[in-house]
C-alpha cells in the first residue's frame, strides 16, 4: 500500500477486497491466507493488489513481488520474484538465489529490505527526519484496515482520513 500511494502520489478513496483462509489456520497460524483487493484512488487511478502468504516450498524466492502499471501511454512491469539474475543448476535442482532482497556483498547484508531497515536505524541514530512520516503511516494503516473490513463484509469500503 505504501508503494502504491507513493507511485500514484494520491490517497486511497475506496477499496473492495475478498479473502480466503484455512491453510494457515489449519497449521496453527491464526491469519488469512490471501487478500485480493481493488483499490480506487481519489484522482481516478485504479490498482489491483494481491497479498498472500501461501506459496510452494519450492518457490525460488522468498518474496513473490510483481508490480505492473498500465497507463494511457505506456506500461511499467517489475518482477522481482523471478529475477533469474543468478541461477545454479545441479542434477537434483535449480536454485535461484535471492540477489535483490537478501543479498550479501563483502559479508554485509544488502538489498531493498535491508536498506530500508538500515535507513530507519540511521534516522534514529542521527536524529534526521524519517522519509515516511507518521501521517503517511496512518493513511496506509487506515487503507489496510479498510481492506480487512471489506474482506469481512464483502462490500466496498470508503477510506476515511
Coil, helix or strand for 145? helix
Task: Mark residue 28 as left, alpha or beta (left: phi above 0; alpha: psi -120 to 50; beta: remaining).
Answer: left
Tell whether pTM > 0.85: no
Give the pLDDT of residue 83.
Answer: 64
Query: What is the per-residue pLDDT across 70-110, written as a single tens digit (0 to 9) for each?
Result: 888 888 887 776 666 777 788 888 877 766 666 778 888 88
Q: Are 77 and 13 in contact (CB under 8 A)?
A: no
Instruction: Indicate the CATH number for domain 2-85+134-158.
Output: 3.30.360.10
Residues 34, 54 contacting (CB under 8 angstroms): yes
pLDDT score recorded for residue 21: 95
Q: What is the pLDDT of residue 39?
A: 97
pLDDT score for 91: 86
Domain ranges of the chain: 2-85+134-158
Q: What is the pLDDT of residues 22-49, one digit of tens each?
A: 999 999 999 999 999 999 999 999 999 9
Q: Which residues, including other chains, have CB under 8 Å from residue 139's CB and lie 6 or more apart?
A: 5, 11, 12, 161
Amino acid at each position: 500500500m505504501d508503494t502504491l500511494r507513493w507511485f500514484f502520489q494520491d490517497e486511497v478513496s475506496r477499496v473492495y477486497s475478498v479473502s480466503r483462509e484455512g491453510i494457515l489456520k489449519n497449521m496453527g497460524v491464526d491469519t488469512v491466507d490471501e487478500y485480493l483487493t481493488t483499490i480506487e484512488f481519489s484522482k481516478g487511478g485504479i490498482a489491483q493488489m494481491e497479498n498472500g502468504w501461501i506459496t510452494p516450498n519450492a518457490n525460488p524466492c522468498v518474496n513473490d513481488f510483481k508490480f505492473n502499471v498500465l497507463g494511457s501511454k505506456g506500461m511499467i512491469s517489475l518482477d522481482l520474484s523471478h529475477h533469474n539474475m543468478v541461477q545454479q543448476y545441479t542434477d537434483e535442482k535449480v536454485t535461484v538465489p535471492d540477489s535483490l532482497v537478501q543479498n550479501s556483498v563483502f559479508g554485509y547484508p544488502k538489498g531493498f529490505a535491508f536498506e530500508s531497515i538500515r535507513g530507519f536505524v540511521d534516522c534514529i541514530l542521527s536524529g534526521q527526519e524519517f522519509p515516511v512520516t507518521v501521517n503517511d503511516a496512518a493513511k496506509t494503516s487506515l487503507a489496510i484496515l479498510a481492506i480487512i473490513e471489506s474482506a469481512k463484509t464483502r462490500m466496498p469500503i470508503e477510506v476515511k482520513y
